[in-house]
Structure 1
Amino acid sequence: MSLRSSRLAALFTALLLAGCASQPHSPQPRTLPDGLRADVAVLETTDLHSNILSYDYYKQKADPTLGFERTVTLIRKARSQFTNSLLFDAGDTIQGSVLADYQAQVQKVDCGQELAIYQAMDAIGYDGGTIGNHEFNYGLPFLSQVTGTPMNVDGAGSQRCIGPHYPLVLANVNSARDGQPIFKPWTMIKRNMAAFTPDGSQISVPLKIAIIGFTPPTIMQWDKQNLEGKVTVTGVVEAAQKYMPEIEAQHPDLVIAILHGGMNMAPYTSDMENGGWYLAGVPGIDVLLLGHEHTDFPGPRFAHMQDVDDQRGFVRGVPAVMGGFFGKDLGVIRLALVHQQDRWTIDKTKTFSQVWPICPPMAGAGKPADSTSHCVAADPQVPQVVGKVQQAAIDYVNTPIGQSTVRMSSYFADEGDMTALAPVNAAQIDYAHQELSSAHPELAKVPVLGSAAAFRSGFGGPDDYTDVLPGPLTLRSAADLYFYPNTLSAVKINGAGLKAWLEKSAERFNRIDPNASGEQALINDKYAGFNFDQIQGGIAYTIDVSKPIGQRIEKLTYHGKRVTPSQTFVVVTNNYRASGGGHFPGLDGNNVVLASPDGTREILARWLQSHPTLNAQDLPHASWHFARLKTRSMVVFTAASDKQAVAEADGLRHIRQLRDNGDGTAVYAIDLSH
């Protein structure tokens, strides 16, 4: 694959969905000899979510399976292994941990103070990065400040504050005021690289690298409250086609696209969330860095995609990598360059991608290790950089707010244990009743329901569950129960819309065949746990997993009476869902009757404080259960190991642990006939 394009016109005539590989970039005068070779390691972090240290803020203990401080160890290893290297970040960097919320919402950083995650990243040194969708969660003024990027948008100042010491690029988000990008869409970086002549001599050569960045266009739905009327977005392919001529005119040796997005083979649209496959087909892009999907590429999840090499890491002929999430992995592309006919080209036979885990698989087990002995050591420099603010955040979340006699956990939230969701729904319903009485007195007699999902349901490993034990409650408890910094919204729907909402949520489950032999998996792993909404507030319903999608919700009642299609409800949820996040039917932002500026987590904390001793009677009852189903085979699911007693204590006596996986998880069987 050539690195210098000789035909700029190809950028304008290439079909949008064409699968052509990158064309050569326009040649420029060179004095370098033919036959030069250079290996360049393109390193990537993505979806760090401000997990700087290997620490679980909710369980108040070290967690060696995540954390940027351990990724840094891998970065140093790669830099020692490869003579030449470049390091980039693919976004979702500044949000996602207690420390992040502390600096954004509690003890806010000022203009002259660099955000902790950027301090840690600057300590190791980055060459560039892009902006993820979660960067917008705290609003544009905060994003403008902490990235050191003045923006011509409402609310954002013109003052240039301290941001990261590396360039951030973003090509597909523009100011609604003037149509100009709110970040630099692309930039050129220049590095001297070691190259080797055919006789083995080493020389230093200059390399011009253009980087261009993209975020999911769906930010306009997910952060509508923060972005509507302030910015506009374009599709990732359209943005790339717009700026590639500018980039080509500067004669880069290498063009790297940094996309906070994954890959989807559905027909391309300008609002596609994961447009990486199509972006790889834009002429001129030489390397693709991916993110957002919280998974690895190369990896088996992408095994059956057309023109995708899930073993060596190529997408439509373009070397690509996606380096996991939470600092669990480092993406590495070994880029083999050869200089011929006055241009650098990629030797595909010697180029490949890998994802390096901080916790390598245990020998013979094929599963991630669950002990520190199998995880790389943390880099000692990172804790020194962020130690003070880390301790301040820990002290803050340990602020007492009450007591509880109830254990609230999400270990079996998918199976009907709603103890971790009930306080969220109770707080949301209480808040909406208070606000709607003045904002919408016409809705005073309309039933108000609460909708919540288990944000921590095991996706990130055996410790990725909410578990608030009986005893003292702190702000940490509220953060554990409500993981994201969403604001509260309420929507007005009818009974048909309520059923459609629940049907969409029920896609969390695979269809179970009562007559099948062999084990059947209950959970559809392709449907995210945070989209399994469970609604409370006087309704009851059953989920029949033997039925096809869209036909699973049965016996839907409100206070014992059947819900009619025309019956009116107000459902309290978060701004993400109310604005269309998750693509739920009837939820697109047009039926919002309450858009609160208050965060759901803060609303929950205040509600817990108003119940100094929380008892079971303070919480709404579980609203759903599985329809009875007798099966020939066992229906199974995976959860944290040795938690059967938790299920039994919460009334789920039809669940039993079958076998321990040896990695902190276990396979459980659920008897659906009870």
Structure 2
Amino acid sequence: MAHCSRITALFAALFLAGCASQPHPLEQPRTQPLSDGLRVDVAVLETTDLHSNILSYDYYKQKADPTLGFERTVTLIRKAREQFTNSLLFDAGDTIQGSVLADYQAQVRKVDCGEELAIYKAMDAVGYDGGTIGNHEFNYGLPFLSQVTGTPMNVDGAGTQRCAGPHYPLVLANVYSARDSKPIVQPWTIVTRNMAAFTPDGSKLSVPLKIAIIGFTPPPIMQWDKQNLEGKVTVSGVVEAAQKYMPEIQAQHPDLVVAILHGGMNTAPYTSDMENGGWHLAGVPGIDVLLMGHEHTDFPGPRFEHMPDVDDEHGFVRGVPAVMGGFFGKDLGVIRLALVRQQGHWTIDKSKTFSQVWPICPPMLIAGKPTVSPTNCVPADPQIKLVVGKVQQAAIDYVNTPIGQSAVRMSSYFADEGDMSALAPVNAAQIDYVRRELAATHPELANTPVLAAAAAFRNGFGGADDYTDVLPGPLTLRNAADLYFYPNTLSAVKIDGAELKAWLEKSAERFNRIDPNAEGEQQLINTKYPGFNFDQMQGGIRYVIDVSKPAGQRIEKLSYQGKLVQPSQTFVVATNNYRASGGGHFPGLDGSNIVLASPDGTREILAQWLQAHPTLSADDLPRASWHFARLKTRGTVVFTSAGDKQAVAETDGLHTLRQVRDNGDGTAVYAIDLSK
């Protein structure tokens, strides 16, 4: 609550500062030698993790969703430009993937060389000064990335033709071609912009500001997109890349160096494969401003409140002004950068510099609690829909292609608590596919037990509507996309019983350790462990999770076909390419034990399986494979999900849940009785 008040105060201060300092437009800019004492205020604006959510629309529920969408971020961008005479706009990556529209343009009706990608068209409509490449940019492969970014790459499969790309420069310093060891995208560039400046006596003049931008992506892309990148590119750590190119940048004598990192912050000792290296990158001499992303959160924000050398109130990381502007177009990152001319150079006046994240839906106080309401969101900028409206409708028409009927409801509202209805069709499709492929490609494994692992990707992280919910009735491709959110390909790994247990133990870190003797409420879910890493397995397997035990010791009664699993027993597990290649740092999964790397997408495999079961019933789906160990607790064990869904839990056989309070934002707190 105190933090919310602080945010509100800063937002107001930023607004007033911008309005108060806004001068009359320059009619005839003057040029003159730059003297000490000259001041320039610049609003550095950032979007990140847009994931091609261009319009405020939920493709899975087929309705408008005003709580997300770049078209509303544009409204904030235009307001910032009205408030501040000087501004720069950058994007921190994960831009071209993540929505039905993105998949449509990449995998269904692929854009041709002369056609600009819809998200880039929308971004060009508002005008960007630069951006970088996120990890999800690599999901569709290097040839596609090369084409749609307008960047010829000297890598296998990528052409040398320069195709239509965004009208702003992209930079990426830490990914290199395996052919020549040169960056696949220019590592850095310089943009020069004229800025309104003020002398100590209040006179106004126009001055050029020379801004260097350098970009970075998470080094673990080599694991996450191994099938797309192995043998084609190499990756370095973000700090090493910054140190490599900083001398070149400084030789150009820029006035400002902006590091655009698709990554967040981790204060653990630095390693070259660190996923979120922002804290360490801020310590590289010469970096003046740090823009971050990837973690789908806000900085400044409470998640970073207690990090060393991090000013969570004003937005500094190790003395460097920094911002991380949310995800899905829900926010705009803003740094109010105060520059002053001293001894012939521009320096940052840190006493007048601060960062803020502007939400498209500012929280309202409901029952004393800050709550995001769809009724309190800024309007969409009408220009963006005009730019992408036709391809948007084409994508919607495509995903409404019928593929069958279902007699069962498949939802993820209580996937963390044991409702596997939304995971069962995914696992069934994976098992069926792998069994057929193994018989043809690995006949020596044809009789090996095949299991499948799936996670609930839509588990409420993005709010009350961020759940899979496929109702009984007609099924379309949209439902398949809802059931399997990411454009992963299918992989299968060969493991033994000990590795199987270790896999499940890692997954069970999704839960906090519950103390049976503690009074008061205890939270069941460990929100620091992402839901997309909570793999749940099916295929004749059964197991129990004891949340009273420490992590690593929770899996009990692990059996296959009614018999306890032996440590040396052999299994093949169907999963996705991300997990099989090491994504999530699961023990024993590093890509070395992959026995099947399918070119087919898991979503497409699922859609084909659903088409092969045109009247889907409960008999077609594997039963739930796990439950919690019985545990009597003094206090109440609670978790959060979408509100008023207790009937869904009852229908799916979870009779130990009850809603205890409404949060006022579409979510509710539920209690779970672990003693039954």
Classify the secondary structure of the residue corresponding to 1:363: strand
Aligned match for 1:563, one of 558, 562, 565: 565
Within a 5 Å distance, the mapping from 1:367-446 to structure 2 comes to 367-371=370-374, 373-446=375-448
What is the rounded CA distance, in whole Å, between the counterparts of 2:488 and 2:143 in structure 1? Answer: 17
Equivalent position SS for 2:364: coil
Report the secondary structure of 2:389's partner residue. helix
**Deviations along 1:324-371, whole A, 9 cap, x unmatched?**
000000000000011111111100000000000000011354433232
| Residues 365 and 371, structure 2, Cα contact 8 Å, conserved in 1 | no
Calculate percent identity across the aligned residue pairs: 85
1:171 aligns with 2:173: yes
1:31 deviation in Å? 2.3
User: TM-score of the superposition, structure 2-length normalised?
Assistant: 0.95
- Given candidates 535, 542, 545, the residue that maps to 2:544 is 542
Which residue of structure 2 lines up, in the alignment, with residue 246 of structure 1? 248
Residues in 2 aligned to 1:367 and 1:64: alpha-carbon distance in whole angstroms: 18
Counterparts of 2:121 and 2:253, CA distance in 1:
33
For 1:636 and 1:299, the matched residues in 2 are separated by 25
Q: In 1, are the aligned partners of 2:50 and 2:94 still within 8 Å (CA)?
A: yes
Alignment correspondent of 2:603: 601
Equivalence for 1:105? 107
Q: Measure, in 2, the Cα distance between the counterparts of 1:515 and 1:196.
A: 65
Distance 1:201 1:381 in 2: 36
Give the distance between the partners of 1:642 and 1:312, measured in 2 at CA. Answer: 39
Query: Is residue 54–residue 69 contact of structure 1 (8 Å, CA) maintained in 2?
Result: yes
The 2-side partners of 1:640 and 1:145 are apart by 40
In the TM superposition, residue 444 of structure 1 has moved relative to its aligned partner by 1.2
Q: Give distance in 1, aligned partners of 2:621 and 2:439.
A: 22
8 Å CA contact retained: 1:367, 1:663: no
Contact kept? 1:359, 1:368, Cα under 8 Å: no
Contact 1:286 1:318 in 2 (8 A): yes
Measured after TM superposition, the shift of residue 438 of structure 1 is 1.0
**Paired residue for 1:201?**
203
Q: Any residues of structure 2 matched to 1:184-333 within 5 Å, and which?
A: 184-333=186-335
The answer for the alignment partner of 2:116 in structure 1 is: 114
SS of the aligned residue for 1:367 comes to: strand
Size of the alignment, in residue pairs?
644
Unaligned runs of 5+ in 2: 1-31
Residue 26 of structure 1: aligned partner: none
Q: Can you list the C-alpha shifts for 1:439-491, whole angstroms capped at 9, x where unaligned?
A: 10000111000100000000000000000000000000000000000000000
Question: Is 1:519 paired with 2:524?
Answer: no
2:217 and 2:261 in contact (8 A); partners too: yes
Superimposed CA distance per residue, residues 48-83 of structure 1 (whole angstroms, 9 cap, x where no aligned partner): 000000000000000010000000000001101111
How far residue 199 of structure 1 moved from its aligned partner, in angstroms, is 1.1
- The Cα shift of 1:34 comes to 1.4
CA distance in 1 between partners of 2:440 and 2:412 (Å) = 35
Counterparts of 2:187 and 2:195, CA distance in 1: 25
Note if 1:631 corresponds to 2:633: yes
State which of 144, 153, 156 in structure 2 corresponds to 1:154.
156
In structure 1, the partner of 2:623 is 621
CA contact (8 A) 1:154 1:230 kept: yes
- What's 2:29 paired with? none
Per the alignment, residue 492 of structure 1 pairs with: 494
**Match among 590, 593, 600 for residue 591 of structure 1:** 593
The answer (yes or no) to whether the contact 2:363–2:373 under 8 Å persists in 1 is no
SS at match of 2:170: coil
C-alpha separation in 1, matches of 2:412 and 2:560? 25
3-state SS, counterpart of residue 101 of structure 1:
helix
Q: CA RMSD in A?
A: 0.7
- 1:671 is matched with which residue? 673
Paired AA for residue 71 in structure 2: E
Q: Displacement, 1:38?
A: 1.0
The runs of 5 or more residues in structure 1 that have no matched partner are: 1-29
Using the size of structure 1 for normalisation, the TM-score is 0.95
How far is the alpha carbon of 1:265 from its aligned partner? Answer: 1.1
